[in-house]
Chains A and B, each alone.
Chain A
């Protein structure tokens, strides 16, 4: 522990973040080989990885760049459905599942990145709550459009239409997207290993971005836009960098998520999903990477494991959410925490300055 403390803050964050993921992977793999993980728990592994990636990427926008986004699930949706279509196109020509999964994830990331760039342009003109509403609107638009289109694949390639699946004019093809029913007949090729790899890639991208020249420019813009602008930092360029990077990562996560289910509808990626991810980020501590990972895992698993309480679990979740937010911002709780810490460690913890949430 002593050695850890002597390292720079940057190195420590790295070790905690990567270490946590690798330890989790090792523990789960061992538990799996010993048969300690039942079907129910096993089914949660990929979604947990996906949500960790989603939270880390949203953290880039909300925590690091300081912009409120309420449509992050929209990018997940773009990634998921473009990934599904890509996987369906190569279904017969490529036999290796990991390769198919990789293609789906890459295509998902690319499409989400393109959409992120297009949505990112208005981002530059708007601030605060207006930005929040544009991202919210974007999420709803994506959901609506995917509910509207039908996509099929046959020997001639891709068929796209609207209205009903009969308009596809296919010869013995497969329907991939079926309007409001979403994607059907998806091959379940997502694995926990792939999820862990994606989490590590995300960590690598996010940590390196934050600590690069661009990352410092992004935080400078967040802390004081006018001051940053006056020293020659291009607000447009750096905000867009954060936004598009976040969109690409979310798209990749979406593709992985989709490959974990045999069918998936656009309504899975609605406003509530965006909010869920935002809650992970805020409760994990904005800009704090290990905190975000931990908060996501705990907050995703707890409601799932509470399923035996059925009706009461979301009510409990809501109450916990409110109480945590109130406690986090209460002076009394802060003082109590300090006195307890003082008694345990016999020293005062330096009070944090400038922590808003």
Chain B
């Protein structure tokens, strides 16, 4: 395959990572927590879409919408029952709870849907775009377009809308935001809702690309997207986008040109090097210490 095809595949993978990373980074920015269960929300989204689309045989658009609704409700529920009571607790307590939620989702999925891999049919009808001798599959194209649309919409939402403004205020200073009359609790809920809805879309795109789904489907992409978020500077929205895209491209290129087996090692090694040079990620704010 030519370099350009590889680059396009990398962008496609990277844009899915970026969409997932957005969920991580928004939650981190606002609730100051690492939501380890985010990867498993992706998996739930994938299964819901699978059940509607493959088992019930309904159109794929219904599957995607159902996945988004279920994941949004799931995200809000998780936040309400597992994370909200720990708002004042230490960050490790929240981390362990998030891990508990992640185990819970994985095992619940195993009981409900079974542990075997199920074949996922692509949500995009198979077609290919051919420009000269370059051929891009429809799924790749749709993935990139959908992700770019999501990123632009989200950026506008956070920059222009009132809720977006509230989100930025809460991430800057929770107490001051509360004094200004912002409802911090509902702002955090909205953040979880948006992050989870994005995770549902990412889940469907991811399963369409890998053509299979199982209860642990979300783990590795979750870790990779988390890495991407840190790569770009966690808490920063453009950082998550750039981090995700870069990670996808690096992964695809090293798979094609360096070594298939060592891909993960290369991706993570680059991450470590980046963090050594820029300890707060590419777009992370430098934190000045006050005594």
Contact = CB atoms under 8 A, between A and B. Distances in A.
B226 interface: yes
B99 A279 contact: yes
A357 B89 contact: yes
A248 interface: no
Interface in A136-173: 136-138, 140-141, 143-145, 147-148
B104 interface: yes
A147 B268 contact: no
Contact of A141 (B86, B269, B280): B269
A125 B110 CA distance: 40
A85 B118 CA distance: 39
B230 interface: yes
Given A129-B230, A141-B265, A314-B107, A326 B97 contact: yes
Contacts of B289: 226
Interface in A102-150: 122, 125-130, 132-134, 136-138, 140-141, 143-145, 147-148
A128 to B, nearest CB: 8
A325 B101 contact: no
A321 B279 contact: no
B140 to A, nearest CB: 26
B96 A68 contact: no
A68 B96 CA distance: 12
B89 A356 contact: yes
B227 A311 contact: no
A318 B89 contact: no
B173 interface: no
A143 to B, nearest CB: 8
Interface in B82-102: 82, 85-86, 88-93, 95-97, 99-101
A330 B85 contact: yes
B265 A144 contact: yes
B264 interface: yes
Interface residues of A, number: 46
Nearest to B261: A148
Contact of B262 (A68, A144, A312, A328): A144
Interface of A is mostly: helix
Contact of B90 (A283, A315, A322, A356): A356
Contact of A325 (B28, B100, B230, B281): B100
A321 B99 contact: yes
Interface string B226-243: 110010001000000000
B108 interface: yes
B96 A279 contact: yes
Interface string A291-309: 0000000000000000000
Contacts of A348: none
Interface stretch (B12-20, B69-77, B270-278): B270-278
B82 A326 contact: yes
A271 interface: yes
B272 A137 contact: yes
A317 interface: yes
Contacts of A315: 103-104, 107-108, 111
B290 to A, nearest CB: 9
A330 B101 CA distance: 18
Contacts of A62: 92
A332 to B, nearest CB: 10
Nearest to B94: A325
B200 interface: no
Given A133-B271, A141-B268, A318 B100 contact: yes
B145 to A, nearest CB: 30
A269 B108 CA distance: 24
A330 B87 CA distance: 11
A319 B89 contact: no
Interface in A324-338: 325-326, 328-330
A329 B271 CA distance: 34
B202 interface: no
B271 A322 contact: no
Contacts of B198: none
B272 A134 contact: yes
A312 B111 CA distance: 8
Interface string A178-201: 000000000000000000000000
Contacts of B234: 129-130
A22 to B, nearest CB: 30
A318 B291 CA distance: 40
In the complex, which of the residues B28, B82, B91, B103 has the most CB atoms of chain A within 10 Å of its own CB atom? B103
Interface of B: 28, 34, 82, 85-86, 88-93, 95-97, 99-101, 103-104, 106-108, 110-111, 219, 223, 226-227, 230, 234, 259, 261-265, 268-269, 271-272, 275-276, 279-281, 289, 291
16 contacts: A122-B272, A122-B275, A126-B279, A130-B234, A137-B271, A137-B272, A140-B265, A141-B268, A141-B269, A148-B262, A271-B223, A279-B99, A321-B103, A329-B86, A356-B89, A356-B92
